[in-house]
Amino acid sequence: MTLARALSFSLLLAAAPFAWAAPAPVRVQLKAEAVVEGRDVTLGDLVDVADATAPQWPAVRQTVLATAPRPGYSLHLSQREVARLLREAGHPEIVLGGAEASTIETRAAPFDTAAITGAAENYLRTALQANAPSLELIPEALPPVKLPGGNVTVQVRTQRIDRLRGRMTVSVDVLVDGSFYRTMQVPFQVHARQSALVAKTDLQKGQVLACANLDMQERDLAQLDATPVTDCTRQGLRLRRNLAAGEVLQANMLEPVPAVSEGDTVALQLNDGAVALETRAVALLEGNVGQRIPVKATGSEESVLALIVAPDVVKVSGK
């Protein structure tokens, strides 16, 4: 080996420790109490640094250690926990001193809930408007809301709205800087006035739908259990239950009139080979075409099972 090569090799060996040396330690003092501004807790929020001119400090101070607590709550981090989080983040050069632990709170400002209520109202009105043109939505007051600093946006959750109700609630997500922060439930009192059929007098279960028994009046649809009936000329329908005077007739209160009702007088046809007879009988149960019901022929004490073949017509076949 020449003298020049030996000298170069010696210089490289001497410089190696400096080239691969770990970053110089940065000494910091953990605060006993800290207040953060945003959604994250960074090292810079929790410590005072002895030498802010350390070259790596501007980057290290931005190291995220935890998610900031919600306003009104606090987060407790011990010095040991902070040291562990720094090692996991790749910053073992930070030398911690100061308080044994830090209690962290989030600085928050009141947020005007009008944006939350407005988004919920627009969503609900759009969902209900087609079935309730005269819609009135009255929002209930929301509790005070405080949010951390950042760009606040609101987003209504998609939800199933199948019918009007007197009180309805819409869920609205609040986002800070594009990340979910909390959900607000926005309740509304709902009113939707529309013309509907109302009983003029007390009506009994089984009565056939007839315009003479009904009157058209304006009522609040949101207070009803089902869709109101607006057409009294529909044929073949009867009441499923009693309807009090002044009560709104709703779709779920009607049912088809059966082909034969209990107590009806029906034509009883008897077929026995080439012999066909017809007499009168009383239906002992109700039923529809294709069903068998017991009937009692006029003057007979015995009932027979007959097939309903048409409205008010039943048939018995001989063996």
Tokens of 44: 């810079």
- What tens digit of pLDDT does each residue of 30-74 get? 999 999 988 899 999 999 987 777 788 888 999 999 999 988 889
Structure-block tokens of residue 271: 């077929």
CA distances (Å), origin 277, targets 192, 234, 265, 282: 59, 36, 16, 16
Residues 139-172 have pLDDT tens digits of: 999 999 988 888 999 999 998 887 888 999 999 9
**pTM flag (> 0.85):** no
Q: Which amino acid is at 177?
A: D
Model confidence over 186-217: pLDDT tens digits? 999 999 888 899 999 999 998 899 999 999 99
Q: Per-residue b/e over 159-188, b at no fewer than 16 CB within 10 Å?
A: eeeeebbeebebebbbbbeeeebeebebeb
Sorted by sequence, the CB contacts under 8 Å of residue 76 that are 6+ apart come out as 101, 102, 103, 104
